[in-house]
Amino acid sequence: MADETEPEPTEEKKKGGKKGLIIGLLGAILLGGGGFYATYAGLILGPAGEHDTHAAESDMPPLPEIAFIELEPMVVSLGGNAHAKYLRFSAQLDVDPASEEAVLMVLPRIIDVLNTYLRAVSEDELGKPAALERLRAQMLRRIQVVTEHGQVKDLLITEFVLG
């Protein structure tokens, strides 16, 4: 009885395992590809293509008229004790189209207000995580004081680089 051992598996059984794995992988690839095509072609989960785009466009209200005034890039020195020697800043003003010319008339005052404010900000304040949002709000408020009520809607910062 000690001589009795279990017979070794034949090579046919080993091939059957690989064959099943290959068939399983091919089936998964075919099913995945078929599902992708059915979804992409709009056969399931609704129509695709131009129909969705036109439906979404018709449901959206038209955008209001807007106008932007680009401010010249400013370079502001930060002082002798600062690690960064200067701040390069540029922005655009979102203005009411009817008051674009009036805002352009006071543009030198707007630039003066921004320069004065940015020179007063310390480098420590600029390094804080929420600094840009706070600075943006402060600058927008100062711009709105210089211009008439409702002329400038927003200040969009396009460049803010410490160097």
Q: What is the pLDDT of residue 5?
A: 63
Dihedral (C-alpha) 120, 126, 132, 134: value to the nearest 10 degrees?
-60
| Nearest alpha-carbon partner for 152 in 94, 70, 71 | 94
Q: How far apart are CA 161 and CA 88, in angstroms?
A: 5
Please tell me the class of the 67-162 domain: alpha beta
**% of the chain at pLDDT higher than 70:** 81
pLDDT band of residue 139 (cuts 50, 70, 90) is: very high
- The Cα-based distances of 127 to 57, 119, 123, 138, 162 in angstroms read 42, 15, 6, 16, 10
pLDDT band of residue 89 (cuts 50, 70, 90) is: very high
Q: How far apart are CA 42 and CA 51, in angstroms?
A: 10
Residue 73 above 80 pLDDT? yes
Per the prediction, the chain carries an average pLDDT of: 83
Element (H, E) at 157: strand 152-162
Q: How far apart are CA 46 and CA 62, in angstroms?
A: 26
Higher pLDDT, 163 or 3: 163
| Nearest alpha-carbon partner for 107 in 74, 72, 73 | 72
Spell out the residues 6+ positions from residue 83 whose beta carbon is closer than 8 angstroms to its own.
123
Higher pLDDT, 147 or 123: 147
Q: What is the pLDDT of residue 149?
A: 84
Going by their DSSP bridges, the two strands 152-162 and 74-77 should be labelled as unpaired
pLDDT band of residue 109 (cuts 50, 70, 90) is: very high
pLDDT in tens, 34-69: 888 888 777 777 654 555 555 555 678 888 888 999
Q: What is the pLDDT of residue 115?
A: 93
Residue 14 above 60 pLDDT? no
